[in-house]
Amino acid sequence: MEQAVTQPQTFDRVLSSMCTRPHPVAREAAERFLATNPGDPETYRSVAELESAVIDRLGEVTGLDNPRGYVASGGTEANIQAVRAARNRTDVAEPNVVAPASVHFSFQKAASLLDVDLRTAPVGTDRRADPDAMAELVDSDTALIVGVAGTTEYGRIDPIPALADLAADADAAFHVDAAWGGFALPFTDHEWHFAHAAVDTMTIDPHKLGRAAVPAGGFLARDPETMDALAVETPYLESTSQATLTGTRSGAGVASAAAALDELWPAGYRETYERAQANADWLAGAFAARGFDVVDPVLPLVAVDLPDALFDSLTDRGWRLARTARGELRVVCMPHVTREMLEAFCRDVDDCREGPVGT
């Protein structure tokens, strides 16, 4: 009976995750739909209906009429699928994908899996994709251009319309990875979605800032041909084809995404975003006041140049922290991150240094 007492981590020191404690309505729906499999829509019909409702809602969030897509396990799967669809739709023998160096590592996974050439271009000094640098990597074998709307490391939004133009000029597909940023960006002035540019596919994860339960990622496509390019035939299922990467999928994730979107879109998500952004701004200010180099939080994500020893001391105190590739501390102000948590964190930062600032 050992495992009967194993408890999950609490969220009161988690600053590293792009997942979060689900909203209560999302948790309730996840529990209700635990014993369902949207991968078998003829058997599990009501969860299949909820999945359609989620995709319709995600179309509203991302400016897309008549959206195609499905609820994936997360951003990695959705990004893989974007690369896979582009690869499957191109005629060239050795397709390549052109992306900014700031793309999530799932594109490395996709490239390895799908045997395409991933070409990454340096980002600008603003940490955003540089369309000119990317243009230099594009050639007649380019099947896909990728932009990020909310980078994993610094929360930056790439110049999506300019990248869409680059894709159009190259006759390549265009994918936007808004896995994390997609539920914050509707409340900003950024241009990032299907109605702002000729975006073909998008990743947007309800289980990140959408406050659904894990696993509930989102893969969206403008055209049915994209889904057709992913489909394989399915004997022994009464549905006739399957466009997903995995087979069995989480009905809990689907139902919780449906419930969260129903409850929170748009007002609840606006409130979630504004609170998270205010926390990020506060934390950035608190670190700056302590003399650290802080990367301005464009979205609710703060990167700070922290000495390794301090990072390790904070980890020893139970804080769950993550780093950028350059080694900066990276705090993701998810919905479970409160001002009180951040104040406690800053007290520990002070404690772990020689002494408080100014002494």
Hey, which residues between 86 and 115 contact a second copy (CB under 8 A)? 88, 105-106, 108-109, 112-115
For the CB of residue 24, give the shortest distance to a second copy in the complex, in Å. Answer: 11
User: Looking only at residues 117 through 156 of this chain, which bind a second copy when binding is defined by CB under 8 A?
Assistant: 152-153
Near a second copy by CB under 8 A: residue from 62, 76, 90, 226: 76
Host H or E run for residue 70: strand 68-72
User: Looking only at residues 163 through 202 of this chain, which bind a second copy when binding is defined by CB under 8 A?
Assistant: none
Q: Which spans in the chain are helix H?
A: 24-32, 45-61, 75-89, 106-114, 131-135, 160-170, 224-230, 251-264, 267-289, 308-316, 339-352
Near a second copy by CB under 8 A: residue from 133, 237, 310, 344: 237
| Under 8 Å between Cβ of 246 and 81 | no
Near a second copy by CB under 8 A: residue from 159, 217, 218, 300: 217
**Residue 206: HSE in the Cβ half-sphere, 13 Å Cα cutoff:** 40
Structure tokens at 260: 């969260």
Structure tokens at 289: 């006041």
Near a second copy by CB under 8 A: residue from 93, 140, 236, 358: 236
- 3-class state of residue 132 by DSSP: helix
Near a second copy by CB under 8 A: residue from 233, 308, 340, 354: 233
The window from 61-69, 132-140, 157-165, 240-248 that contacts a second copy (CB under 8 A) reads 240-248
Site string for a second copy, 319-358 (x = CB under 8 A): -xxxxxx----x----------------------------
Structure tokens at 245: 């990467």
| Under 8 Å between Cβ of 203 and 179 | yes
For the CB of residue 72, give the shortest distance to a second copy in the complex, in Å. Answer: 8
User: Looking only at residues 9 through 68 of this chain, which bind a second copy when binding is defined by CB under 8 A?
Assistant: 9, 11, 14, 16-17, 19-22, 25, 27, 29-37, 39-40, 42-47, 49-50, 53
81 contacts: CB under 8 Å, gap ≥ 6: 72, 201, 219, 230, 244, 245
